[in-house]
Structure 1
Amino acid sequence: MQAEKEQKPQEKAPAVDTTTSNQEKQALDFKSLHFGWFVGHALVVLNTLIFAISNLVFHPLGFFYRLAYLGVIASYGIVLWNSYKPLTNKESYFKLMLLDENFQYLIVAVFFLFTRRIAVTLIPFFIYSVFHVLDFVDADLIPQLAPHQTKIQSHIKDVVSKYYDTAMILVAKIEVCGVMTRLVLGLFVFRSSILSVLVYAQFLRMRYYMSEHTREFLTELGTKIDKALTPPTAHPKIPPAVINAYATAKDKLTMGSKPAPATAAKKQL
Structure 2
Amino acid sequence: MATTQHYLWAGGHFILLISSLKYLTAWLLFRGPSAWWYKTSFLGALISYAIVCYKSLGGIQPNPAFIKRALLDENVQYFMLALFWWTSKPIAIALLPYAIFSLFHALSFTRSTLMPQFLPAGPPATAGGPPTPHPFAKKLQLWVKANYDTAMKAVAFIELAIMARVLFGALLLRNSILSPIIYAHFLRQRYYQSAFTRTAIQEVNRRVEGYVRAPGAHPIAVQVWDKFKFGLDKWTGSVIAPQQPAAAAAARAQ
TM-score (norm 2): 0.85
Amino acid across the alignment from 2:217? K
* Structure-1 residue corresponding to 2:127: none
SS in 2 for 1:193: coil
Amino acid across the alignment from 1:237? A
State the Cα distance separating 1:124 from its structure 2 match: 0.5
Q: Is the 8 A contact 2:43 2:86 kept in 1?
A: yes
State the Cα distance separating 1:112 from its structure 2 match: 0.8
Aligned residues: 236
Closer/same/farther in 2, CA of residues 48 and 204 from structure 1, 3 Å limit:
same
Q: Is the 8 A contact 1:227 1:234 kept in 2?
A: yes
Q: Is the 8 A contact 1:100 1:262 kept in 2?
A: yes
* Structure-2 residue corresponding to 1:254: 233
Q: How does 1:28-177 map to 2 (within 5 A)?
A: 28-29=2-3, 32-55=4-27, 56=29, 58-89=31-62, 91-148=64-121, 150-177=134-161
Q: Is the 8 A contact 1:86 1:94 kept in 2?
A: no
State the Cα distance separating 1:114 from its structure 2 match: 0.8
Deviations 1:179-235 (A, max 9, x none): 112112213431122210111111111111111111111012112323433xxx344
State the Cα distance separating 1:73 from its structure 2 match: 0.8
State the Cα distance separating 1:246 from its structure 2 match: 2.4
Q: d(CA) in 1 for partners of 2:31 and 2:232?
A: 43
Deviations 1:75-127 (A, max 9, x none): 00111111112334464333211101111111111111111100010001000
Report percent identity of matched pairs: 33
Out of 166, 178, 188, the residue aligned to residue 205 of structure 1 is 188
Unaligned runs of 5+ in 2: 122-132
Q: How does 1:230-245 map to 2 (within 5 A)?
A: 233-238=213-218, 240-245=219-224
Amino acid across the alignment from 2:227? T
Q: Is the 8 A contact 1:134 1:156 kept in 2?
A: yes
Q: d(CA) in 2 for partners of 1:183 and 1:266?
A: 29
SS in 2 for 1:86: coil
Greater relative contact order structure (CA < 8 Å, 6+ sep): 1
Q: Is the 8 A contact 2:97 2:158 kept in 1?
A: yes
SS in 2 for 1:116: coil
- Greater shift, 195-204 or 82-91, is seen at 82-91
TM-score (norm 1): 0.81
Closer/same/farther in 2, CA of residues 58 and 223 from structure 1, 3 Å limit:
closer
Unaligned runs of 5+ in 1: 1-25
Q: d(CA) in 2 for partners of 1:153 and 1:201?
A: 39
State the Cα distance separating 1:241 from its structure 2 match: 3.3
Q: d(CA) in 2 for partners of 1:252 and 1:181?
A: 16
Q: d(CA) in 2 for partners of 1:222 and 1:57?
A: 33
